[in-house]
Structure 1
Amino acid sequence: MAIDDKAEAKGDKLKGKVDEVIGKVTDDESRVLKGKAEQAEGSIKDTVADAKAHLKDTADKAHDDRRDDTNTP
């Protein structure tokens, strides 16, 4: 799931960059702003994906540690 989240974030950033560049070339300020907003959304999604992955790793480690503690005589 984290890979899907990261891919979606990357897609948002790329789409935003394209919209920003097209907006600059066509002198369309609203498209420039839309592109920057899409890039920001992609960055937020990327950060959330990283946090989710970190939390999952931490939870998995805690679960494994707890399992090890219950199996120790």
Structure 2
Amino acid sequence: MEHAPILVHRISPSGGRRVVIRVRGVDTVLGVAHSDADLIEFLRRIDLPDADDLVRGDSEAIAWQGGRPHVYEADSEAAGP
């Protein structure tokens, strides 16, 4: 399977996750998301249709690296569901 075009990196020590989009093998940093709302806004800014559905659904277009999806703070990761 080809890599997902949207990468949400591991949680940084200060909180938040770097968001990168990969187009034709070139990575572009969209910003650091501290919530799903931030991630959706980054995707809207690049005119990605249905950003809400993409983030809130189970999309193969987004790869969540180094932690659970939709978690943006290190303390939340350790706490579990």
TM-score when normalising by structure 1: 0.29
The structure where strand makes up a greater share of residues is 2
The structure where helix makes up a greater share of residues is 1
